[in-house]
Amino acid sequence: MSEHIVSVRVYITIFLVLLVGTALTVWVAFLDFPGRLNTIIALAIATAKATFVVLYFMHVRYSSRLIWVIVASALFWMGILFAFTFSDYLTRGVLSTGY
Amino acid sequence: MKPIESFELPAPSKVNYMNAQYGLKSWLLTKDHKRIALLYLGSITFFFFIGGIYALLIRLELLTPQGDFLASTTYNKVFTQHGIIMIFFFLIPSIPATLGNFLIPMMIGAKDLAFPRINLLSWYIYLLGGVITIYALLAGGVDTGWTFYTPFSTTFSNSYVVATGVGIFINGFSSILTGLNFIVTIHTMRAPGMTWFRMPLFCWSHYATSLIMILGTPVIAITVLLLAFERVARVGIFDPALGGDPVLFQHLFWFYSHPAVYIMVLPAMGVVSELIANFSRKNIFGYSFVAFSSLAIAVFGFLVWGHHLFVTPQSVYAGMIFSFLSFAVAIPSAIKVFNWTATLYKSSISYDTPMLYGLGFIGLFTVGGMTGLFLASLAVDVHVSDTYFIVAHFHYIMVGGALMAYLGGLHYWWPKITGRLYPEGWGRFGALVIYVGFNLTFLPQFVAGYLGMPRRYHAYPPEFQVFNVLSTAGASILGFGMLIPAVYFVWSMRYGKHAEANPWHLPGLEWRTQSPPPTENFETTPIVTWDAYEFAPREETEVVGKFSGHEEPA
Amino acid sequence: MIESHATAHEVHGHPALQHHFENMEQQREAGTLGMWIFLVTEIMFFGGMFLAYTLYRSFYPAAFASASNHLDITLGAVNTGVLILSSFTMALAVYFTQIGKQRPQILCLVLTLVLGLTFLGIKAVEYHDKYEDRLIPGHLIPGRSFGPEVAHEGDHDPHKLHLLPGATVRQVELFYWIYFAMTGMHALHMVIGAGLLTFLIIYSAKGRYDPEYHSPVEVIGLYWHFVDIVWIFLFPLLYLLGRHMEHG
């Protein structure tokens, strides 16, 4: 399995995308959106930026399936921590035990 | 499939990993996984005896209903320290760091683990964590329970919480590095022909254990760190008086600490798979089921931590989810027990010491596991929470299960590790004493707990005394039983009979090199063309009796 | 018989080939896999703190917004840009190592290190500001416990804390606890990264790495990018969450 060498042009493109993303997230932060939309937009932009770093700077796009599985698993496990903990906090008082 | 019973070994050499180099430096700076395994063996045994002394003090106090032997605050420290030492410094590293380190490269035909220097580093980190924790114990001890619940641990305890926390934090990195090493080794360093499904089940279970180590340990690390900072800075992350949430601590703590129990038991199950298959001279029944059940336990084990929070303000809805999943996680464990039993069926069992421990594991783990199902049930758990029922449950699994498997594995691979045979008669005697002592110690605790005796109290109502007296009697027998192998193992290093390469006559790859192995494990890299438990086909036998019949030839 | 796919060159072994590996490819694969697994532990490690943040933010949204608005958005944004640039130079460093251009490789590593130190310098300025405004939580600084001056209606002093309706100082302290824990842990990882980069620079200057053996540059690059990713999430979550609620 030979090593894939990512071109400088790709790196420059991703770098500029990341800078634009940063400017975007700062600008959008000052606009008032209804409900939780501000948070969702901020997290969406951050996730997109992180994805670009992972795929291109960290070469995951050109890596073996094992690496993909590892990255996905880590995110999934953090998801377990969040989901199950919030399954507690968000449902307190939903079911009454009578005492 | 050619059965493999005997083979040509290169002429045994007098040089092996133990005598290849002499001097303290060659041991303390070694990169050889086998020497590192022995370094761990020594330190783990040391911590085991310290934890055992604390156990002895607990059982002495509980002989009488009054709190007359230890003051309550002292007793709090004793059971806390018993738990911390046994869990973090004995059980979690025990099988992986000694047997796993020694055997995994050999079982897959490699010369060493992927990262030998990181392996050595993990031992030094373990020692550093241990030294700091021992310092905390000697300086005055910690009394919060090994669970460090807040706000007692953050705000009200006057003991060495931070120092102990730092010791545990550091020790966690040892665990992480070991797990990392195993995963990379199994992925990248299997010998030619050693496919995943030709690996011994010992490797599968250590792989699954390593997954838990790397996914869970970081969370306890950050939790302990936050706890320490809160205690030092007096800010309210977990203290309700300052706006924090103590249940958050419990969520974060148990997110690791529940999977941690699978770190303790999965390697033991891997050992038992080896013991059952090899000492019944039969291929393990349902190899892939056993292999995948290890992975299933590792994954499911992360989904059940809330069953430790049934008696907290955790929502009932979440409690129901966790309860259901806690029942589900028993299934892969049960699959293993069924498969081991099916392996034993119509096999050629030899009751050597390792097999005695393996059989003991199956029985005691089943008891421990089934009582776990009672605890998975929300209503029952509320009744027996914080009673001796819980204490008995986890000791059945951790001592009756994990410790038995550890001892079984030590006996099984002792000839390979040391090149000596332990005395078989004493081995069987020791196993029996330990088994009897163990059951006498912990069976009465189930009853006492169900009848309401609370845990972590140095005094109790007099109606529970009979159970405690039985328990302490059992503990004395158990303690004596533990000394037996300690003595003859040490004795065998000097006076034991020399072991040949394959004293048990088994097909495993680790038996195809001399005992003790040379530093590079194998003279030449093996090329593997056989499955893990290929034994010669048995002769046709006539089964007489109600279920008689002929077996079809294979 | 040893069966491996070794070329004639590799049978003698690259000087960096460790004895327990069959060839450089296996060694490289193991190294990369090892670093990725380590990064998994880091994700779970920071994950615990992200959980605490998410929980308390949902409990005390007004306090978190107030506290966040008190952070210097310019310094935060500049730092984000600095880190992204450093990730770019790190990726270039790996690139130049892969094609065997030693001088640009060393230059890029040095740039990465300088940018990393810049980030830490700006962080130090921010921490100092917090110290000045008495925003260091709890009793971490003896004699200077948490106690910011709260701004009253109409007072636009930037050093004073402007509380949104519903926020209390106690809850704001929780935000700062999380802020220092997360950015502090992040900064610690940057310091370690800076140390690793220093080693890389020294060894690169000695000609240690070539197109066949540059695994350390690659895996430390992975580590550096990960630390960048953590900041990519920290920045909006800590600095930007309440900006749309800021009054003039």
Q: What is the pLDDT of residues B202-213, one digit of tens each?
A: 999 999 999 999
User: DSSP for B4-37?
Assistant: -S--PPPPP-S--TTTSS-SHHHHHT---HHHHH
Q: Which of C44, C55, C243 sits opposite A29 (nearest CB)?
A: C243
Of B506, B489, B510, whose CA–CA distance to B416 is shortest? B510
Cβ separation B115–C30 shorter than 8 A: yes
Partner A contacted by C125 (CB < 8 A): no
pLDDT confidence of residue C4: 43
Give B35: exposed, middle or buried? Use CB within 10 Å, 0-12, 13-18, 19+.
Answer: buried
Q: How far apart are CA B447 and CA B259, in angstroms?
A: 27
pTM for the complete prediction?
A: 0.93
Chain A, nearest residue to C215 by Cα: A3
pLDDT per residue rounded down to tens, chain C (248 residues)? 333 444 444 445 788 899 899 899 999 999 999 999 999 999 999 999 999 999 999 999 999 999 999 999 999 999 999 999 999 999 999 999 999 999 999 999 999 999 999 999 999 999 999 999 999 988 888 888 888 888 888 888 888 888 888 889 989 999 999 999 999 999 999 999 999 999 999 999 999 898 889 999 999 999 999 999 999 999 999 999 888 887 53
Residue C122: what residue type?
I
Q: How far apart are CA B44 and CA B488, in angstroms?
A: 18
Query: What does pLDDT average to over chain B?
Result: 92
Count contacts between A and C (CB, < 8 Å). 122
Chain A residues with CB-CB distance to B314 below 8 A: 88
Chain C residues with CB-CB distance to B216 below 8 A: 44
pLDDT confidence of residue B548: 38
Cβ separation B243–C174 shorter than 8 A: yes
Domain ranges of chain B: 34-535
Q: How confident is the model at residue B542 (pLDDT cuts 50, 70, 90)?
A: very low
Of B504, B499, B502, B436, whose CA–CA distance to B473 is shortest? B436
CA–CA min distance C149, chain A (Å)? 25
Cβ separation C244–A73 shorter than 8 A: no
pLDDT confidence of residue B90: 97
Q: How confident is the model at residue B122 (pLDDT cuts 50, 70, 90)?
A: very high
Cβ separation C246–A30 shorter than 8 A: yes
Partner B contacted by C174 (CB < 8 A): yes
Partner B contacted by C11 (CB < 8 A): no
* Domain B34-535 part of CATH 3.10.129.10: no
Partner B contacted by A66 (CB < 8 A): yes
Partner C contacted by B81 (CB < 8 A): no
Chain C, nearest residue to A6 by Cα: C95
Cα angle C94-C95-C98, degrees, rounded to a multiple of 5: 85
Q: How far apart are CA A77 and CA C114, in angstroms?
A: 34
Q: Which of A66, A74, A94 sits opposite B315 (nearest CB)?
A: A94
Cβ separation C85–A74 shorter than 8 A: no
For residue B32, pLDDT beyond 50: yes
Q: How far apart are CA B307 and CA B168, in angstroms?
A: 23
Residue C205: Cβ within 10 Å count: 14
Of B215, B220, B239, B64, whose CA–CA distance to B157 is shortest? B239
Phi-psi group of C86: left, alpha or beta (phi > 0 → left; psi -120 to 50 → alpha; rest → beta): alpha
Cβ separation C45–B222 shorter than 8 A: yes
Cβ separation C174–B217 shorter than 8 A: no
For residue B405, pLDDT beyond 50: yes
Of B427, B305, B314, whose CA–CA distance to B360 is shortest? B427
Chain C residues with CB-CB distance to B232 below 8 A: 140
pLDDT confidence of residue B473: 97
Least confident of A90-94, B476-480, C165-169: A90-94
Q: What is the pLDDT of residues B37-89, one digit of tens each?
A: 999 999 999 999 999 999 999 999 999 999 899 999 999 999 999 999 999 99
Please count the CA atoms within 13 angstroms of the CA of C154 that sit on its side-chain side.
Answer: 0
CA–CA min distance A3, chain C (Å)? 9
pLDDT confidence of residue A97: 61
Judged by CB atoms within 8 Å, which residues 494-533 of B form the interface with A? none
pLDDT confidence of residue B65: 95
| Residues B89/B91/B96/B100 CA torsion (nearest 10 deg) | 110
Chain B, nearest residue to A92 by Cα: B315
For residue B547, pLDDT beyond 70: no
CA–CA min distance C65, chain B (Å)? 17
Chain A residues with CB-CB distance to B248 below 8 A: 85
Q: How far apart are CA B344 and CA B281, in angstroms?
A: 9
Q: How confident is the model at residue B11 (pLDDT cuts 50, 70, 90)?
A: low
Asked if C113 and C135 count as a contact pair (C-beta separation under 8 A), the reply is no
User: Which of A56, A57, A68 is most worth mutating to test chain C (most C CB atoms within 10 A of its CB)?
Assistant: A57
The interface pTM score, or ipTM, of the predicted complex is 0.91
Residue B172: Cβ within 10 Å count: 26
Cβ separation B316–A95 shorter than 8 A: yes
